[in-house]
Structure 1
């Protein structure tokens, strides 16, 4: 069954109704119901991450995934130690950089809004630029390295998820990204700054053994890989939906209702279709009546769960302010997305300001959907109605 289609939601609907625990291949299962996905995400004793103590990173016939060393792939005590080392610091740096993020948002919007005076404009570059530049600024990575970082991250994503592309070069891209971050860590030791990477390097140096070097690199790698592609995809989808649904776009006119709009974007078409890493049953478990053996790879289809009609009435409608349970686009349990606050900040800021400066956007032509674990669009052409002719 092909899940990498332009519209996977009919496939998810069939799976929820007929095979909610779908065997992708021997030893690998995909979950499509909300409660099943939530259970796997929240119960860390029964469902282990694939890396670190308590589970196997890889086997002879199933090699370690490209993202096996990042924080989201770890179990306690390794995951607990890594999360504690970065969680508070990351939030503090996000909040402390809001003025910079605001200024960068306006810098990027200015030429885009100006280009709309001349006709159709593709918004995909804007959608990627703000979150990419922001995470690089928070970490203190040189802005001259934007192309390098974009290229490496783009190469890594196709090799993650339940249906990876083994020929995409993701392993090589991960090696290059890891080597790049190793070099940046060495630079911070010689000349620290006021960025998050410098702070973590100082903490690592002062308390030798508190955070092993490989865990420090794993944290930084995860922040780069997860720090902007998902937000970019969310912004792309948000722009498409605000241009297609002008009445619902009025939610962006107020701070409180903007959050409702953003949450519905994330529910309606989750930027990340599946969890970044599988969960592995510590013993044989029964999920929706299906025995799943110990050691299997279990993947939660977040987008499928977000459209479960048993949880979200009329799930295929884009309806901001719908209420009810929270979506699962940020995951759940101990692995709940570290950057959830940053996602809301950047999506809200950019979409609100875009609406303020170009409130009458409409699609210029059909956007080009990105396929695979990362959703969003590779092209988002919009136009203002006075330029339609």
Structure 2
């Protein structure tokens, strides 16, 4: 660890357990410069400041305030989604979707419960004969959920999964690294354009239809390109991160069976989910950097206007100056809200859906398979998402 200052911290985080690296950075270089004008922030107050002071720390979409940002905008593949926008575009997009998204979710719990039961059946059958890998279940539940919410045909599940994997790979690349996901993004955008056109001819009771009706009624409040960008962002962000959280939750249930009792009650189940999101955040970095509108000093380090600032959410969530015994998984802990959902105007639109999906699936797992144990060590995923590429389990009684 002593040579960290002469290497690229991003590479060290990518190849192994990131938390010792985060600890070193918080203590030694909490504002760490790497890759030119790119700065990693690892302390909770600094990360929260960047996430919440949106007039000073801009999202990378649109037109940057300084020539220094040339080449520093978010990759084109992400540049038009809502999380990369600033006011007034971000405000307009968020206003168009936030209330409708929340209202649409209120009546979805019975459907989600039925989906959860359907997806469990083949898992239960496999476990009656031996070992089952839980990652396909973890991936299918949030994928099928967001497609149902948006009204996308179930027959397109494999297509959507493949496109999202190309746009948002679950194991890398590192934040800020170059990668061409443009072809997949164009295919996804074209697909969503066709779905929007279908809703104009045959609207349904899904969120896409709601947004199409809003565009038709007031196109100046929700232009067509922004409507498609909203759907794109919801699709790309709608299931890989939640799947990673479910995978982590299953592993934590096996490692801490005594704490799984939190899942028996809706209030305490939320505490369990919040703690797993703090303890091992599925998204370790913000999806895009923030760009200082003017020169700013953070942690004694002068950061020029137009630089890229990356809040490291996984590090902030374990800041010992903020959380008691931060490296322990302790549902029900006191302390400030974790930063896994971001903060400020860009606070995760789907936070409530994340809580609902993870708590429901883990709770159903505890009810239906209380004797589940780890069959083999899970295979950790490294890179852009935490989580596991394989979670093999078995029953102690069959």
TM bracket (short chain): over 0.9
User: Would the alpha carbon gap of residues 41 and 63 (structure 1) be closer, same or farther in structure 2, given more than 3 Å must change?
Assistant: closer
Tell me which residue corresponds to 2:142.
131
Tell me which residue corresponds to 2:6.
none
Q: Distance in 1 between matches of 2:27 and 2:212?
A: 49
SS in structure 2 at match of 1:249: helix
User: Would the alpha carbon gap of residues 248 and 57 (structure 1) be closer, same or farther in structure 2, given more than 3 Å must change?
Assistant: farther
Q: CA deviation at 1:42?
A: 0.5
Residue among 185, 195, 218 paired with 2:196: 185
Deviates more, 1:56-65 or 1:140-149: 56-65
Residue among 2, 7, 21 paired with 2:31: 21
Q: 2:278 aligned with 1:267, yes or no?
A: yes
Q: 2:134 aligned with 1:100, yes or no?
A: no
Deviates more, 1:348-357 or 1:254-263: 254-263
Tell me which residue corresponds to 1:325.
336
Deviates more, 1:62-71 or 1:119-128: 62-71
Q: CA deviation at 1:298?
A: 0.5
Tell me which residue corresponds to 1:163.
175
Per-residue deviation, residues 55-98 of structure 1 (Å, max 9, x unmatched): 58996644641211000111111000000000000011111221
SS in structure 2 at match of 1:373: coil
Q: 2:187 aligned with 1:176, yes or no?
A: yes
Native 8 Å contact 1:53 1:78 kept in 2: no
TM-score relative to the length of structure 1: 0.95
Q: CA deviation at 1:386?
A: 3.4
Deviates more, 1:329-338 or 1:177-186: 177-186
TM-score relative to the length of structure 2: 0.93
1:114-129 equivalences in 2 (<5 Å): 114-129=125-140
Q: CA deviation at 1:255?
A: 1.9
Tell me which residue corresponds to 2:4.
none
Q: Distance in 1 between matches of 2:273 and 2:214?
A: 35
Q: Distance in 2 between matches of 1:130 and 1:58?
A: 43
User: Would the alpha carbon gap of residues 35 and 48 (structure 1) be closer, same or farther in structure 2, given more than 3 Å must change?
Assistant: same
Tell me which residue corresponds to 1:196.
207
Q: CA deviation at 1:245?
A: 1.1
Tell me which residue corresponds to 2:392.
381
RMSD: 1.8
* Length, aligned pairs only: 386
Q: 5+ residue gaps in structure 1?
A: none
SS in structure 1 at match of 2:257: coil
Residue among 239, 249, 260 paired with 1:249: 260
Q: CA deviation at 1:288?
A: 0.6
